[in-house]
Amino acid sequence: MDIPRNVAVIVGSLRKDSFSRKMANALAALAPASLRLQIVEIGQLPIYNQDLDDANPPAAWVSFRERIKAADAVLFVTPEHNRSVPAALKNALDVGSRPYGKSTWNGKAGAVVSVSPGALGAFGANHHLRQSLVFLNVPTMQQPEAYIGGADSLFNADGNLSNESTRGFLRKFMEAYASWIELNQRR
């Protein structure tokens, strides 16, 4: 039996009960057995400042970088803030990409799921994130795209995904992502 691939899941929302966190949990439940998803928290990361990296980097940065480095792939699940990614997510990208030349993101097979109660499914955040991932050399799965709108009606009172159509789509998304990870591992 093949060893499961470890996928670091970055949730862009810091809110405990966020739609993005609920979606990340749903994706983990729907993932094929070949993937092991684990949320890597970003709320504790101090804002990136190169001066701190030059001396003694904060322990939270070191720990975060080690967890991303140890992962085989990275899955981003994010809301949209002002037509872009939340500040905490952008900070996590910066922390993981530094010091210069030592990016922990480099070459990790990625995917993006954007989540919103609105109809556009956080389209702007999805594409802004993809732009950063190109620079960080994160080969990001192009298809299927995942803009999940109407998130306020997708989960039951316990926070579990209750929409069967969305469940089917997400299962196919995760199967495609597993294939994407394998393709990039062989490169």
Note the pTM of the prediction, 2 decimals. 0.96
- Would you state the pLDDT for residue 1? 41
Query: In angstroms, what CA-CA distances link 71 with 3, 74, 95, 124, 141?
Result: 13, 7, 16, 27, 17
What the block records as the tokens of 138 is 């994160």
> How do 146-148 and 73-78 pair as beta strands?
unpaired
- Would you state the pLDDT for residue 66? 98
Phi, psi of 157, deg, nearest 5: -60, -25
Half-sphere exposure of 67 (CA within 13 A, CB side): 19
Task: Indicate the class that CATH gives domain 5-186.
Answer: alpha beta
Q: Which residue stretches of the chain have pLDDT < 50?
A: 1
Instruction: Give the domain ranges of the chain.
Output: 5-186
- Would you state the pLDDT for residue 149? 93
d(CA 71, CA 68) in angstroms, rounded, equals 5
